[in-house]
Amino acid sequence: SSVLFEAETEKPDAKVKWQCNSKEISSGDKFAITANGNKHSLAITDITKEDASVYAVIAGGSKVKFELKVVPKSGGKAPAEAPTEGPSESKVEPEKSPAPPAAAPAGDETAAPGQDAPPAEGELLKEQPPDTRQDLTGLFTEKPQSGEVTVGGNITFVARVNAESLLKKPTIKWFKGKWMDLASKSGKHLQLKEVYDRSTKVYMFEMQIIAAKPNFAGAYRCEVSSRDKFDSCNFELSVHEANAAEGFDIRAAFRRTSTDGKEDSGELDFSTLLKKRAVQVSTEPDLDVWGILCQAPASEYEKIAFQHGITDLRGMLKRLKKMKKEQKKSEAFLKKLDPAYQVAKGHKIKLAVEVANPDVEVKWLKNGQDIHPTGRYIFESVGNMRYLTINHCSLADDAAYCCVVGEEKCTTELFVKEPPVTIVKNLEDQMVMNGERVELECEVSEEGANVKWEKDGVELTRDESFKYRFKKDGCKHILIINEATKEDCGHYKVKTNGGESMAELLVQEKELEVYQSIADLTVKAKDQAVFKCEVSDENVRGTWYKNGVQVKPDARINITHIGRNHKLTIDEVKPEDEGDYTFVPDGYAFNLSAKLNFLEVKIDYVPRQDPPKIHLDCMGRTSDSTIVVVAGNKLRLDVPITGDPAPTVVWTKGEKASSVTPGGGDKGGLTTCWTMKDGEVVTDGDSRVHVDTTKGHCVFTIEGAERQDEGIYSVVVRNPAGEDTADINVKVVDVPDPPQVPRILSVGEDSCVVQWDPPLFDGGQPIIGYVLERKKVKSYRWMRLNFDPYLETTYEAKRMIEGVQYEMRVYAVNSIGMSRHSPASQPFVPVAPTSEPIGLCVDDISDTSISLKWRPPERIGSAELEGYGVEYCKEGTDEWIPAMQGLTDRTSLIVRGLTTGDKLQFRVRAFNMAGPSAPTALAQPVTIREIMQRPKIWLPRSLRQTLIRKVGDTVNLMIPFQGKPRPKVTWSKDGEPLKPTFASVRNSDLDTILFIRKTDRMHSGKYDLQVQIENVEDTACVNLQIVDLPGPPEALKIMDVWGFNVALEWKPPKDNGNCEITGYSVQKADKKTMEWFTVFEQYRRTNCIASDLIMGNEYVFRVFAINQVGLSDEACNTKDSAYIQKTGIAYKPPSYKDHDFSEAPKFTHPLVNRSVIAGYNATLSCSVRGIPKPKVTWYKNKMDITNEAKYRMLSKQGILTLEIRKPCTFDGGVYTCKAVNDSGEDTVECKLEVRCEYLSGWYNDRNIQNVSSFS
């Protein structure tokens, strides 16, 4: 028969390869390979048993395997059998291919794995019914179930995920235990598969365990995630040894001849004795032969073997011996290696074993090969412990390791986990011209990492046209598009296993450069006007406009386009030709404009005494003679002048008045005057304004017209015969002012709505639209959103990335051109509503109130969470009533003013700028009624040990408790009530706060908290230690100088800052420069040797004390300096001096704080040394007590004793012993506490310590 396999690819015309046993298949007599669009098929004809094998289909980087099984015909008809794997006791799912089921012709005897047999065979494979359980939650539609398998068997775990509601393909991870990721362990014993059903949109994930071993047993976990959604499932695998009673036939296993070559084959073959016996069919039930052998004595083994037909007696005895043998305890190892270890890539790991013999030599193996000590592999031997340290672990270190001692060994497996590759530098949005080269660059955290590029969700590959090039340069990855076209516009995304980044590419038509722009013209009647411009692209056509109306060529108007030159020629200019001419290149959002001014002023001068007249002919405008000029262009007015004698011309700018004078005295406003007389400038009001004269002409020119140049210009012509005047209205038009700052009205998941106000000044021309741009806040590229002017002042921008900050700006456009951009809007982030809050529960309840608490949503998104809204409704109604006005920032709320006995349902929703989330409600309504509760203090874990703070810090301790009704809270310090001036205390129903605004040393101590309700109480204790910088060390001395070394010694500081001194910082300085350098950064001893000093220099030293707060403010400096002698000087014999035995007093044993009982003699003892013998003085609270009879002072061989006869509470205090001789002095002190006898017993009965003395 024949069989047909079909596969469907995402892209049409994709290259597909077919393989059989990892060898490529080509079309021929046996195999027929066809392709039709995105459907590909493999047909196998004349199937034989040799065709039963493993096949695979490969498309791009995807490879799917499937198996073909051939079954013999049964009764002339053999339906297709779906192959299964593993033993019968395993949970097995048939393999499925992503291809749709094959349509095999009638009569086929085989079918692809996981595909239904054709109906023509008369038999259908039973499909597994869908999982309709109600306990499935989260993303899973089918969760992996716990299973059992025997050693050597196969088992498959299946998980299904419905992707209809998911925006992104789900990602699945399989774990063993808590941390072992199985993704990198695929191989001989583990296979992970993924199948997607397009019709149902369901992903099926499989984990197949092949040839299970006993150490495969344990707890497993399956995790699936898609964007901000997550779900996990735990299951277990049990691996059983082969059970002889159920799955092992002893009689079949050991019924053999001596020609068998197995390991358990024996030499005692008595099968020939059984051959002559007649074969009898036994009707007796099967017996447990293993049970009989285990209970029988060894002398009966042969007899039992004969009775049950066991011929291989030697093999049976070996197997039986293995079953009875007990595991012996290792004699060489006291502690073996763990079964497995895991380490992150680049980190180090230490493998440790403990051996019985501390002198034994061990050998380390990696995958059976000896490991030699190197910089990466370090062997250590410490007592009975043997260590193997692996530094800078790489993927090559992922192997099996073995420690060998003699003939014994212990093994382990090391898993090297590669950290996820993150994106350090994100992609940048780009806008390029058509045909330009594009480089999208990102930077990842590790070199050589694999990244995946996508465009609009479709993966990019190196196709045949080599349109896309992928470049790696260390940690940089670059996507190169050689010649960008309009089709390349879109969102490009780069993905790693630890993150992703997206950018947008906009391709604009190539920018057109203007080599020569058109200029303003002022011509006379019957003259020729020529506007000419030159652009960079000779293929670009354009359109000429006059005052916004397209110019059509006729007999007088000629339009030419030669190469890059565009020309508009107007012959025999007429007054109606005057106007604003614009050239607009086709396909580009800019224009070139210029002004054609037509002005002819005729002055008729009559020799008679009649005043002259000014005739403004051919103005081509309204009666007010308005001339329109574009800002920045030149305004030139050419006035013909006649008259004899030559008249004086006066130009004035201002409002229309009754008369005109050069000074403008009768003008209503400010008047600017330019006067011409005999061809010379009399007055020039502006440097940009020029008045030139020639014979018969006066030319009035304004260079670079500006907005303030707009107004009414008056020309006055005077001579002795009279005068004449004319008014010219000049209007200056310009690009508009920038629009106002854009306002973001609302945001969505990938969009926003922006609004702006029109510009304050439209440039003298109506606004024809707006152009918008946006950019990421962290980027420097502005991306244009529209190329055609947008008419409205509200715009919805789309195709943005959620969670990324953006800014918007707007340009205004009129017929003159585009304005400057507006100020950027406030940064905003496209966001979507959060997911619903989780874990809503009742924390407390009373007769009129209820306390609710919940946890924040799992997915908050990139927008800031504004707060939570809580609502409730009575049971049986649908009206939800807000529990409070507005929102709350906390994840808990107390709803007050409720009616006792009501049954209410509560729900909570999270709000952000995108709106409310889906609500989460209580599982059932709650009855409003108070519940009694015992007092209990919930001391935070951080307060269960000593709390350390620096001097001047603020202490704010919040300790929660419970109890109803409200308990009484009491604070005390060292057994005494806490004073309000010492620390602030605030109590509420649920917690108490101890607040110290500015701490000092005196705040150190033990703080006790008591919570009491009637006669029931609970207590807690908090230890507070206030630390400060230490004082400087004392008595820094230079003990010796030799060679290039100096020996230093000093004493610890008197004030250690209320914490342990952790070290000293030793510094040196040359006396010439006095620049300090550190010798020891963190030195723990009180003496050191400064080495490597420079010969001929003289050094001084200083020492800082260090505790956990930091360096001491001051240092202890040496009084003397150390001079490093130069070598080569003459030897001077040392001069010996008599040894000075004098020694300053020093207490070798200090006084100890004591607590004694009143009425009993007490002694304080210490020891001191010093030469000569020091004089000893005793003080109490710094008062000399030498001559007081109550005290007796004893001294014997340096041991000093102060005896206090029958002390009372008054005798408590600080006692000081001072020893003085000629070499110095030393003091030591202690604190004596005297307790009353009856109070001492009372305190001891109540287990109260640290009782202060009464005075």
529's CB contacts (< 8 A; 6+ apart) are 521, 523, 569, 570, 573, 577, 596
Please give the Cα distance from 558 to 532 (Å, whole number). 12
Sorting pLDDT into bands at 50, 70 and 90, what band is 1043? confident
At 288, which amino acid appears? D
As for how many domains the chain has, the answer is 12
If asked whether residues 149 and 233 sit together in one domain, one would say yes
Q: Which of 674, 697, 729 marks a domain boundary? A: 729
> Looking at residues 440-465, what average pLDDT do you find?
83
* pLDDT recorded at residue 135: 40
Element (H, E) at 882: strand 881-882
Decide if 408 contacts 356 (C-beta within 8 A): no
Q: Which residue has the tokens 């179930």?
A: 145
**Distances from the Cα of 1249 to the Cαs of 49, 534, 979, 1239, in angstroms?**
91, 101, 21, 12
Q: How many CB atoms lie within 10 A of CB 932?
A: 8
Judge whether 1133 lies within some domain: no
Residue with more model confidence, 93 or 159? 159
474's CB contacts (< 8 A; 6+ apart) are 447
> Looking at residues 615-624, what average pLDDT do you find?
46
Q: How many CB atoms lie within 10 A of CB 572?
A: 12
If asked whether residues 944 and 897 sit together in one domain, one would say no
Indicate whether 1046 pLDDT > 90: yes
* pLDDT recorded at residue 73: 66
* pLDDT recorded at residue 1252: 43
Shortest CA distance to 599 belongs to which of 700, 743, 497?
700
* pLDDT recorded at residue 873: 93
**Distances from the Cα of 218 to the Cαs of 88, 147, 191, 797, in angstroms?**
21, 11, 18, 53
- Does residue 250 sit in helix, strand or coil? helix
Q: Which of 183, 217, 240 marks a domain boundary? A: 240
Q: Which of 173-187, 993-1007, 1066-1080, 1108-1122 has the lowest mean pLDDT?
A: 173-187
Residue 874 carries which DSSP code?
E
Q: Which of 131-140, 176-185, 287-296, 327-336 has the lowest mean pLDDT?
A: 131-140
If asked whether residues 501 and 538 sit together in one domain, one would say no
> Looking at residues 855-881, what average pLDDT do you find?
88
- Does residue 146 sit in helix, strand or coil? coil
Indicate whether 124 pLDDT > 60: no
* pLDDT recorded at residue 934: 86
Q: Is the dihedral of CA 275, 281, 284, 287 positive or negative?
A: positive
Q: Identify whether 144 is preceded by a cis peptide bond (ω within 30 of 0).
A: no
Judge whether 249 lies within some domain: yes
Decide if 1193 contacts 1202 (C-beta within 8 A): yes
Residue with more model confidence, 627 or 1165? 1165
* pLDDT recorded at residue 245: 43
Residues 722-770 have pLDDT tens digits of 787 777 888 888 889 999 999 998 888 888 899 999 999 888 889 999 9
* pLDDT recorded at residue 106: 36
What would the two tokens of residue 361 be?
Answer: 């030599």
* pLDDT recorded at residue 901: 86
Q: Across all residues in the chain, what is the average pLDDT?
A: 80
The bridge status of strand 476-481 relative to strand 613-617 is unpaired
Residues 1089-1144 have pLDDT tens digits of 999 898 889 999 999 999 999 999 999 999 999 998 887 667 788 888 888 888 99
Please give the Cα distance from 246 to 1017 (Å, whole number). 63
Q: Which of 654-668, 970-984, 1052-1066, 1189-1203 has the lowest mean pLDDT?
A: 654-668
* pLDDT recorded at residue 682: 42
Judge whether 832 lies within some domain: no
| Burial of 170 (C-beta count, 10 Å sphere; 0-12/13-18/19+) | buried
Residue with more model confidence, 144 or 520? 144
Phi, then psi, of 785 in degrees rounded to 5: -95, -25
CA 379 to chain centre: 38
> Long-range contacts for 1207-1211 (Cβ within 8 Å, ≥24 apart)?
1207/1156, 1207/1158, 1207/1159, 1207/1160, 1207/1161, 1207/1162, 1207/1232, 1207/1234, 1208/1158, 1208/1159, 1208/1234, 1209/1158, 1209/1234, 1209/1235, 1209/1236, 1209/1253, 1209/1254, 1209/1255, 1210/1234, 1210/1255, 1211/1180
* pLDDT recorded at residue 266: 42
* pLDDT recorded at residue 597: 82
Residues 390-417 have pLDDT tens digits of 999 988 898 999 999 988 889 999 988 8
Judge whether 765 lies within some domain: yes
Phi, then psi, of 575 in degrees rounded to 5: -60, -35
If asked whether residues 338 and 408 sit together in one domain, one would say yes
Q: Is the dihedral of CA 74, 75, 81, 86 positive or negative?
A: negative
Sorting pLDDT into bands at 50, 70 and 90, what band is 855? very high
Residues 509-551 have pLDDT tens digits of 767 778 788 888 888 878 888 989 988 888 888 898 888 788 9
Look up the domain containing 391 and give its range: 333-417
Q: Which residue has the tokens 């603020």?
A: 954
Residue with more model confidence, 887 or 263? 887
If asked whether residues 195 and 278 sit together in one domain, one would say no
CATH code, domain with 56: 2.60.40.10
If asked whether residues 21 and 115 sit together in one domain, one would say yes
Q: Is the dihedral of CA 25, 29, 35, 41 positive or negative?
A: negative
Judge whether 1086 lies within some domain: yes
Shortest CA distance to 871 belongs to which of 928, 919, 924?
919
> Looking at residues 241-264, what average pLDDT do you find?
51
Sorting pLDDT into bands at 50, 70 and 90, what band is 1027? very high
* pLDDT recorded at residue 517: 80
Judge whether 1050 lies within some domain: yes
Indicate whether 17 pLDDT > 80: yes
What would the two tokens of residue 1182 be?
Answer: 């710094």
> Looking at residues 846-860, what average pLDDT do you find?
89
Q: Which residue has the tokens 């009616």?
A: 899
Please give the Cα distance from 268 to 264 (Å, whole number). 12
If asked whether residues 1039 and 1023 sit together in one domain, one would say no
> Looking at residues 85-101, what average pLDDT do you find?
36
Q: Identify whether 965 is preceded by a cis peptide bond (ω within 30 of 0).
A: yes
* pLDDT recorded at residue 550: 87
> Looking at residues 453-470, what average pLDDT do you find?
79
If asked whether residues 918 and 961 sit together in one domain, one would say no
If asked whether residues 756 and 687 sit together in one domain, one would say no
* pLDDT recorded at residue 742: 94
The bridge status of strand 648-653 relative to strand 672-677 is antiparallel
Shortest CA distance to 327 belongs to which of 210, 214, 412?
214
Residue with more model confidence, 79 or 984? 984
Indicate whether 173 pLDDT > 70: yes
Shortest CA distance to 102 belongs to which of 8, 36, 200, 199?
8
If asked whether residues 164 and 144 sit together in one domain, one would say yes
**Dihedral (Cα; 627, 631, 632, 633), 10-degree rounding:** -20
If asked whether residues 1022 and 1039 sit together in one domain, one would say no
If asked whether residues 916 and 948 sit together in one domain, one would say no
* pLDDT recorded at residue 1251: 47
Indicate whether 1195 pLDDT > 60: yes
Judge whether 629 lies within some domain: no
What would the two tokens of residue 749 be?
Answer: 């998941």
Q: Which of 386, 417, 448 marks a domain boundary? A: 417
Indicate whether 129 pLDDT > 90: no
Please give the Cα distance from 1060 to 543 (Å, whole number). 88
Residues 699-718 have pLDDT tens digits of 778 887 887 888 888 888 78
How big is the chain, counted in residues? 1255
Sorting pLDDT into bands at 50, 70 and 90, what band is 325? low
Q: Which of 439-448, 454-463, 721-730 has the lowest mean pLDDT?
A: 721-730
* pLDDT recorded at residue 800: 85
> Looking at residues 412-428, what average pLDDT do you find?
87
> Long-range contacts for 599-602 (Cβ within 8 Å, ≥24 apart)?
599/522, 599/627, 599/637, 599/638, 599/639, 599/728, 600/524, 600/525, 600/640, 601/639, 601/640, 601/715, 601/726, 602/640, 602/642
Judge whether 636 lies within some domain: no
Question: Which span out of 93-107, 124-138, 695-709 was modeled with the highest average pLDDT?
Answer: 695-709
245's CB contacts (< 8 A; 6+ apart) are 288, 290, 291
What would the two tokens of residue 266 be?
Answer: 């024996």
